[in-house]
Amino acid sequence: MNIHGFGEALGQRIAATRLGARFLDEKTFEKEVLVKTAWELSRANPEIRVFTHPWKRKAECQPTCEAAGRNFRNRVEGCPACWKRSKKRNVADVFGMRNNFDVAAVDQAEGSLVVEVKWLRFKENKGPNSEFQRFVGQCALAAAANDVVIGVCGLWGRREKQLDEHEKPFQEALEKVGVRLVVLRGWA
């Protein structure tokens, strides 16, 4: 499997998630759906290495990350050394600004993928426009440094009038630059 196949499988699984009250918090989704799914896919396809946030964890791969990278069993999810290494491959540096992402993966040819997650909410019939625009910008930045980008937006609530005429062309436009946008709607 290369990074495109991995992105396809990961994107499909994320898109199949039902956003219930359990996932009101972005971090819960990140840990229980995104990280879990990416790690399981990597277990099934060990030629893909997945890098996840340490969240203050200290355990590292043994004896070294590079050695562990050759055998899934020796890898440690959330290894801070792996996370640091992934930064070298996956960050997007532009105009003096460094842009980081939530989960990263590489294939054996150093083809790379990142996932950006953002939870947004409609409030009193008003959309979270500026935050959404910022999220889309982060996805575009990610595309500068990575072969595959998955942008996951958890969008909670709704406005009375649905404004959705350009959703499909918008997603197609993003696909042209390598961004797969997954919007999960939640009603809690």
Say which DSSP state 23 is in. Answer: G
Instruction: For residue 79, state whether it binds Zn ion (rule: CB under 5 A).
Output: yes
Q: Name the phi and psi angles at 184, rounded to 5.
A: -105, 125
Phi and psi torsions of 130, nearest 5°: -70, -35
The DSSP 8-state label assigned to residue 100 in this structure reads: -
CB of 61 to Zn ion, least distance (A): 3
Q: Provide φ and ψ at 29, rounded to 5°.
A: -60, -45
Q: Is 34 in the site for Zn ion (CB under 5 A)?
A: no
104 sits near Zn ion (criterion: CB under 5 A)? no
* Region binding Zn ion by CB under 5 A among candidate stretches 73-81, 102-110, 149-157, 160-168: 73-81
CA distance 137 to 57: 30
- 50 lies in the site for Zn ion, by CB under 5 A: no
- Binding status of residue 81 toward Zn ion by CB under 5 A: yes
* C-alpha to C-alpha distance for 137 and 77, rounded to whole angstroms: 28
Residue closer to Zn ion (CB basis): 79 or 136: 79
User: Among 10, 61, 105, 139, which residue interacts with Zn ion (rule: CB under 5 A)?
Assistant: 61
Q: Which is nearer to Zn ion, 45 or 171 (CB)?
A: 45
Which one, 63 or 96, has the nearer CB to Zn ion? Answer: 63
Which residue type occupies 175?
A: E
For binding to Zn ion (CB under 5 A), which residues are involved? 61, 65, 79, 81-82
